[in-house]
Structure 1
Amino acid sequence: MGHRNIFVVGLNAFNRERLESLRGAENYRFHGVIEPEEVYDTEYFPIEDMLNRAETQLHDFGKPIDAIVGYMDFPVSTMLPILCNRFGLRTTSLESLLKCEHKYWSRLMQREVIGNYIPRFTAFNPFDDDALSRIGAAGLYFPFFVKPIKSSGSRLGFRIDSPEDFVAATARLRDEIGLISEPFNYVLDQANLPATVRDVDGGYCMAEEIIGGWQCTVEGYVYQGEVVSYGIVDSIRYPQVLSFFYYRYPSRLPKHIQNKMRELTSTIMSHIGYDDAAFNVEYFWDEVQNRIWLLEINTRISQSHCDLFEKVDGVSNQQVTVDLALGLLPDMPRRHGEFAVAGKFFYRVFFVDAVVSRVPSDEEVEALQQEFPGTVIALQVEAGIRLSSLPEQDSYSFALAYVWMGADSDEALEENYRRLADRLAFEFEDVIG
């Protein structure tokens, strides 16, 4: 049998190396479609043009195409069902995907079957001068959280504690929401939407009741209608802020809470009609009230978690995406990795702004990786970069490096990271003017 041709939207060297280590990869050929710089570290998404160029490249390939996959959030996640449909390849439908990614439609679907596990919510137009009073009329009062109907990462998400906070947040939203809303609206135009959803397009935002607690992510997939949750990853934040400190796998949540989250996941993904694709669902467990909240559904595996599964289970969960795209039941091992626990750490600074004047050298990075076996350090900045120019940052900090590590215990994992972080030598200059 010949090699199977798998196209990866935005394929870069980092992901190619992981893909080529998957089970069965000796029988696959991975090809890139759309250059990685068009989907990574950018805020400009000419999605119609990208789709047309991708279609041309795929038509010109001249050999059988067995699968098209991707691991990114917007725009890649929304491009995949459109491309796969054009080439008759497996993935979930565009409508079922949008029932996850369109935050208002997603909440409406969730309310139908798991209404006790979601916050109060309403949609609003950030360009409406009466938006705050309309939010209050919908039963939401300070504090609440606002975010776009479709966002990328944690961008443009704000906690609102006062009218002044809302004014500041909507000013940012008015300036920047178009970067996502315009290409997302193109995707919405390709789908069959109910009127209640079509009227709330990508230019709208969500206001939601504040929820919180122990945050985690259920990684799963649907294969021929069966929902499978194969791992839960904890999301640990820096104290007193919304910024992530690190992701930890496996979860330390109580087993009965993990089981309930899996049950909720199966209920909502079945209700949505999602099929033959990977997903992850983010939850909070409010330990004080003993209450589970569903935060949001993502229509992909998390790239941040790939190395964690490889370290603990023995293979990246990219295996899931590739297997599903080829029509195979995913072949994920369990606890066959080198480490008992693994984490992805976010090395952050909490500046208003600055210019990076020095980053760790290649030699310094390599020395740290050798000192802590299994560690991978990925710098996210270069000397001369102004922090405020970095894309895909949250509203409170800047991530300068990602650090993946494994260890024999949670305590050893955090201690090893602290020792490593103390030696990551970044320097900065104040911004003038």
Structure 2
Amino acid sequence: MTQRQKNVFVLGYDKRHAQDIVKIPDADAFCFHPLLRTDEIIHRKNFPIEDKLEKARNVLRRFDGTVDAIICHWDFPATPMAAILCAEFGLLAPSLEAVLKCSHKYWSRLEQQQAAPEATPGFCVVDPFDENAVGKITLDYPFWIKPIKGYGSTLGFRINNTQDLNHALEVIKQKIRRLGDPFNTILGKADLPSELGKVDGNYLIAENLVHGREFAPEGYVQHGKFHVHGVIDMVRDKNHKSFLRYEYPSQAPHRIQDRAIELAEKVFRQIGFDNGCFNMEFFWDEASDDLWIVEINPRISQSHSYQFEMVDGMSNHEIAVHVALGDSPRFEHRTGPRNHAAKFLLRHYTQQDAVVTQAPDDDQLSRLAEAQPDTRVVLMAKKGMRLSDIPDQDPYSYVLAEVNVAGSTQHDMLERYREAITWLPFEFSPLPDEEKS
């Protein structure tokens, strides 16, 4: 007797990532359905949470069949929305509170401090709208400051002195409510502890500056059992602030990876996280041998899918789908066509806006595809647009393109990237005076 296909709804669906979703061994056993498309909920100027939740509910209610699972690979607002919808429709997923203990940066630090105080940097909360905010920060310079809820290093600043801090606070006050207000809508649906007080989505967290080699175990907790299926290196560029690439497999020593995985398990047990996926970022200070927790993301990362496909022969959606259904993932290692793979972020380092006057054309992209069939390019900047139109950038640079490259060795991968970007020319011109803000 033929088993029916399971219906898996993807919160944040688009054609590009749909190609990754079906690259799992038993894709034919599932029927994947859009549950709001990516452009409806991701990288938007505003996030009407209630409207989007109701639209998603209507899709599920009207579906003529069983709703077996909801998955997502995007950050805010998709991950907490998925937790809310799964609870309402009786589907397996972490609780909303467990998701928020990961993604609310202050709440997360409180939980980390309980489970792994030795790996939790010093921190304090900051109200950017408080006239006395500067005087209430308890950390010494330098430190890092960022919103309680953010992603992609948006509105994250390294603070070396009071001048840096005043500048950062002015920028943040103008922009924080875009994510802060909708995050507060999500917080209003959760059972929050008294320790959070008034710390909501429009607050900041200041953290001691930690450094070293950065990497992220990615894994899942299912029926109370903790698993890791891979470790990704998060390599920063020469400015030490912006990410250059996400590389797999990690080159960190195995003993350090094992220590990080042990710490991650302690933290997730403290949080009460179950039946969900995660990636958790760490710094390893090679001089002191200290490990520091950077942050926790309660989901698989779509930025890691290509790497797993190239090296392990299957997308990390194999994990997300089976965890959401409550059965065992069948993730195999090192069965892919390449030994190393990375998602590179081709950046333009400037804090000044500009107009893109040249970008790769179809002919150049086609010739790159012929020369490197495994390489995938996603253009973020296109001819005629302003750099400031690229959404959710860090304060120090603009991502012009995502360049996914694989190779037989790390050296081969890096050489292929250097070759690839010769096919990706960009040029810029200053904004006309009348358009400068």
- Band of TM-score, shorter chain: over 0.9
Residue in structure 2 matched with residue 41 of structure 1 by the alignment: 43
TM-score of the aligned structures, taking structure 2 as reference length = 0.96
Deviation at 1:366, TM superposition (A): 2.1
Deviation at 1:396, TM superposition (A): 0.5
Q: 2:100 aligned with 1:101, yes or no?
A: no
SS in 2 for 1:422: helix
Residue in structure 2 matched with residue 144 of structure 1 by the alignment: 143
Structure 1: how far apart are the matches of 2:44 and 2:153? 14
Structure 1: how far apart are the matches of 2:399 and 2:54? 33
User: Which has the higher mean CA deviation after the structures are superposed, 354-363 or 280-289?
Assistant: 354-363
User: Which has the higher mean CA deviation after the structures are superposed, 304-313 or 196-205?
Assistant: 196-205
Residue in structure 2 matched with residue 238 of structure 1 by the alignment: 237
Residue in structure 2 matched with residue 75 of structure 1 by the alignment: 77
Residue in structure 1 matched with residue 89 of structure 2 by the alignment: 87
SS in 1 for 2:137: helix
Structure 1: how far apart are the matches of 2:366 and 2:211? 38
Amino acid at match of 2:36: I
Structure 2: how far apart are the matches of 1:323 and 1:292? 31
Deviation at 1:373, TM superposition (A): 3.3
Structure 2: how far apart are the matches of 1:409 and 1:373? 17
Amino acid at match of 1:265: A
SS in 2 for 1:283: strand
Amino acid at match of 1:236: V
Hey, which bits of structure 1, 4+ residues long, moved more than 3 A?
none
Residue in structure 2 matched with residue 258 of structure 1 by the alignment: 257
Deviation at 1:428, TM superposition (A): 1.8
Residue in structure 2 matched with residue 376 of structure 1 by the alignment: 376
- 1:197-276 to structure 2, matched below 5 A, reads 197-276=196-275
Residue in structure 2 matched with residue 353 of structure 1 by the alignment: 353
Deviation at 1:39, TM superposition (A): 2.5
Structure 1: how far apart are the matches of 2:110 and 2:299? 21
Q: Deviations along 1:19-75, whole A, 9 cap, x unmatched?
A: 223222112111111122122332321111100111112111121111111110000
SS in 2 for 1:42: coil
- 1:181-196 to structure 2, matched below 5 A, reads 181-196=180-195
Deviation at 1:101, TM superposition (A): 0.7
Q: Deviations along 1:233-284, whole A, 9 cap, x unmatched?
A: 1111111341111111001111110110111011111111100110000000
Structure 1: how far apart are the matches of 2:272 and 2:38? 30
Deviation at 1:290, TM superposition (A): 1.1
User: Which has the higher mean CA deviation after the structures are superposed, 278-287 or 347-356?
Assistant: 347-356
Cα RMSD (Å) of the superposition?
A: 1.1
SS in 2 for 1:310: helix
Structure 2: how far apart are the matches of 1:328 and 1:282? 26
SS in 2 for 1:230: strand
Residue in structure 1 matched with residue 112 of structure 2 by the alignment: 110
Residue in structure 1 matched with residue 403 of structure 2 by the alignment: 403
Structure 1: how far apart are the matches of 2:239 and 2:72? 34
8 A contact 2:23–2:309 mirrored in 1: no
Q: Deviations along 1:83-119, whole A, 9 cap, x unmatched?
A: 1111111100011111101111110011112001111
Structure 2: how far apart are the matches of 1:20 and 1:246? 24
8 A contact 2:42–2:77 mirrored in 1: no
Q: Across the two proteins, how many residue pairs are aligned to each other?
A: 430
Structure 2: how far apart are the matches of 1:280 and 1:348? 24
Structure 2: how far apart are the matches of 1:247 and 1:150? 22
SS in 2 for 1:216: strand
Q: Deviations along 1:366-396, whole A, 9 cap, x unmatched?
A: 2112212311111112211100121111111
- 1:115-134 to structure 2, matched below 5 A, reads 115-134=117-136
Structure 2: how far apart are the matches of 1:315 and 1:383? 34
Deviation at 1:401, TM superposition (A): 0.6
Deviation at 1:124, TM superposition (A): 1.2
Residue in structure 1 matched with residue 412 of structure 2 by the alignment: 412
Residue in structure 1 matched with residue 25 of structure 2 by the alignment: 23
Residue in structure 1 matched with residue 9 of structure 2 by the alignment: 7
Q: Deviations along 1:141-192, whole A, 9 cap, x unmatched?
A: 1111100011122100001111111111111111111011111011111111
Deviation at 1:195, TM superposition (A): 1.3
8 A contact 2:380–2:401 mirrored in 1: yes
Structure 2: how far apart are the matches of 1:119 and 1:246? 24
Amino acid at match of 1:69: I
User: Which has the higher mean CA deviation after the structures are superposed, 309-318 or 345-354?
Assistant: 345-354
Change (3 A) 1:405 1:193: same
Amino acid at match of 2:117: G
Residue in structure 1 matched with residue 328 of structure 2 by the alignment: 329
Unaligned stretches of 5+ residues in structure 2: none
SS in 2 for 1:330: coil
Structure 1: how far apart are the matches of 2:117 and 2:77? 29
Deviation at 1:198, TM superposition (A): 4.5
Change (3 A) 1:28 1:410: same
8 A contact 2:359–2:383 mirrored in 1: yes
Structure 1: how far apart are the matches of 2:60 and 2:254? 45
Amino acid at match of 1:144: F
Deviation at 1:7, TM superposition (A): 0.8
SS in 2 for 1:346: strand
TM-score of the aligned structures, taking structure 1 as reference length = 0.97
Structure 1: how far apart are the matches of 2:298 and 2:312? 22
Amino acid at match of 1:365: L
